[in-house]
Amino acid sequence: MDRLKGKVALISGGARGQGAAEGRLFAAEGAKVVLGDVLDAEAARTAEEINARTGARVALGVHLDVTRAADWRAAVESCTREFGGLDILVNNAGIADVRGVEETSEEQWDSVININQKGVWLGMKFAIPAMRKRGGGSIVNISSIYGIIGSPGSAAYHASKGAVRLLTKAAAAQYAADKIRVNSVHPGVILTPMTDTAPREQLQPVIDKAPMKRAAQPEEVGWCVVFLASDEASFVTGAELVVDGGYTAV
Amino acid sequence: MDRLKDKVALISGGARGQGAAEARLFASEGARVVIGDVLDADAAAKEINSKVGVRAVAAVHLDVTRAADWRAAVDACRREFGGLDILVNNAGVFNTTGLEETSEELWDTIVNINQKGVWLGMKFAIPAMRERGGGSIINISSVAGLTGSAGSTAYHGTKGAVRLLTKAAAVQYGPEKIRVNSVHPGIIATQMIDIIPKEQRQRFTAFVPLRREGTAEDVAKVVLFLASDDASYVTGAEFVVDGGLTAT
């Protein structure tokens, strides 16, 4: 119940899907949560729902386009202004894309790379100074099993998730001295609005290949993120947590 | 001597350093080579041609961040040597700047050259390889695409991206007999890492089990293997050339 008590978290892409699930679990574990998203109304609704359930004002929605430095600056300021600081950043926002190397246009490439990769870097860049003021923190970057293995398509998505995996390790190395831990999470197929954008015939073989032969609920990723965010993971940094029903184990 | 006989290769960043070493070795193994670079690559081409005694190498202007340059470079392969079998995505820039210290401008520059450049190279080379019934693509990543360090943030990001881009392309183009592999050099003594102070390089080298920096030729020999038919069942793989650095 109190695994994140007294901590303040910023979750990108927090309006729905995996980010909203993380927001709910974080609040249930005693954290204050700022949900950043480009979907303003949905972020506000999710925050209200969490507040109603908790019976206190523990969640807040803010506008956050992860590709914009100014939005990140404002989101971090909201954490400090509304809840007194920032301890946890979950770089959760992302978009899926199934196009292959030749089928991808430069516009699509830039869009996927900016949201999934540059957004993660910007989030860390603006969150770290706030965490330093608190004497440490935990950053959880949501990569993917597609940051570990390849598939026939999703070229820009694979590149962005591979980048997040290494950005995580570089940041872990740079900020260990500041007591800021940085880890990556690699979900397989999770049932969220993001995976709804991928054709079912492309998802089903991936689901079938995993030893558990099912997709995950967002909460199953959310609990892993809670662990990494909490002090239970106090010696865990630069690590990769695979949450894929065994997909990459076979 | 003939491990790449009748094959045509395109090497980005071929004017000097690792790219030039690859071109030299490829030409000596019977390949025809187009070297692309933002630097003038004519001198490197001339030097190799006079050594092998035939016109084995042509130089073209190639800014890897520009689709139009890649299209022209692939056209040059067809026009000069009849097609394209091998692409070495070798061009890259190095940078040691840390996470907070990196500006958006610097981030964009590094990501565009090291990462978008690799994707564009594959995008334009693959149709030409398809015409030949297959091919081999070698993407130069780095040990920085495997492990982290306290700095070089954007560089790590790009090299991690290249590693996965390689695997995605290997899966997508396996049925077309186009093999795609990544090479992960450690500390290689080329102009790219001149920005690292000498005493720091010596400290790094002390961690290398082979106790020396690598040479451009050390890497080129691995690239040659992957480019050749000796690697006919090798795709989506990672080749570390680091003197044992990441083994410790």
A217 lies in some domain: yes
B155 is catalytic: yes
Note whether A155 contacts B: Cβ–Cβ < 8 A: yes
Do the Cβ atoms of A167 and B160 come within 8 Å?
A: yes
Cα-Cα-Cα-Cα dihedral sign, residues B224, B230, B234, B237: negative
B130 lies in some domain: yes
Do the Cβ atoms of A158 and B165 come within 8 Å?
A: yes
Beta strands in B26-65 (DSSP E): 32-37, 57-61
Read off the pLDDT of residues B88-131 as tens digits, 9 standing for 90 and up.
Answer: 999 999 999 999 999 999 999 999 999 999 999 999 999 999 99
Q: What integer pLDDT is reported at residue B239 of this predicted model?
A: 94
Do the Cβ atoms of B107 and A121 come within 8 Å?
A: yes
Q: Which of B144, B158, B172 sits opposite A153 (nearest CB)?
A: B172
B110 lies in some domain: yes
Q: Which of B126, B144, B148 sits opposite A238 (nearest CB)?
A: B148
Alpha helices in chain A (DSSP H): 17-28, 40-54, 69-83, 106-113, 119-133, 155-175, 193-196, 200-209, 218-229
What is the band of A56 on the pLDDT scale with cuts at 50, 70, 90? very high
Read off the pLDDT of residues B224-235 as tens digits, 9 standing for 90 and up.
Answer: 999 999 999 999
Q: Is B139 left (phi over 0), alpha (psi -120 to 50) or beta?
A: beta
Mean pLDDT of A239-250: 92
Mean pLDDT of A181-205: 88
Note whether A216 contacts B: Cβ–Cβ < 8 A: no
A101, A107, A128: best to mutate for the B interface, most B CBs within 10 A: A101
Q: What integer pLDDT is reported at residue A9 of this predicted model?
A: 98
Q: What integer pLDDT is reported at residue A94 of this predicted model?
A: 97
A79 lies in some domain: yes
**Mean pLDDT score across all residues of chain A:** 95
The whole-angstrom distance between B122's CA and the closest CA on chain A is 7
Do the Cβ atoms of B99 and A124 come within 8 Å?
A: yes
A109 lies in some domain: yes
Q: What integer pLDDT is reported at residue B129 of this predicted model?
A: 98
What's A82's domain CATH number?
Answer: 3.40.50.720
Task: Report the complex ipTM.
Answer: 0.85
The whole-angstrom distance between B147's CA and the closest CA on chain A is 7
Mean pLDDT of A16-20: 96
Q: Which domain holds residue B130?
A: 8-236
Q: Which domain holds residue A43?
A: 8-242
What is the band of A112 on the pLDDT scale with cuts at 50, 70, 90? very high
The whole-angstrom distance between A201's CA and the closest CA on chain B is 16
Note whether A158 contacts B: Cβ–Cβ < 8 A: yes
What's B19's domain CATH number?
Answer: 3.40.50.720
A3 lies in some domain: no
B245 lies in some domain: no
B248 lies in some domain: no
Q: Which of A118, A150, A238 sits opposite B168 (nearest CB)?
A: A150
Q: What integer pLDDT is reported at residue A142 of this predicted model?
A: 98
Alpha carbons B164 and A155: distance in angstroms, whole number: 8
A180 lies in some domain: yes
B241 lies in some domain: no
**pTM for this entry:** 0.91
pLDDT of A1 above 80: no
- pLDDT under 50 in chain B at which residues? none
**Geometric angle at alpha carbon A37, from A36 and A41, rounded to 5°:** 110
Q: What totals of helices (H) and strands (E) does chain B contain, helices first? A: 8, 7
B3 lies in some domain: no
For chain B, how many structural domains are there in total?
Answer: 1
Do the Cβ atoms of B170 and A146 come within 8 Å?
A: no
Alpha carbons A92 and A120: distance in angstroms, whole number: 8
B244 lies in some domain: no
The whole-angstrom distance between B52's CA and the closest CA on chain A is 35
A248 lies in some domain: no
A249 lies in some domain: no
B207 lies in some domain: yes
The catalytic residue among B155, B183, B192, B216 is: B155
Do the Cβ atoms of B115 and A113 come within 8 Å?
A: yes
A166, A174, A181, A206: best to mutate for the B interface, most B CBs within 10 A: A166
Q: What integer pLDDT is reported at residue A61 of this predicted model?
A: 98
pLDDT of A34 above 80: yes
A2 lies in some domain: no
Between helix B117-131 and helix A155-175 the angle, nearest 10°, is: 150
Do the Cβ atoms of B100 and A128 come within 8 Å?
A: yes
For chain A, how many structural domains are there in total?
Answer: 1
Q: What integer pLDDT is reported at residue A193 of this predicted model?
A: 85
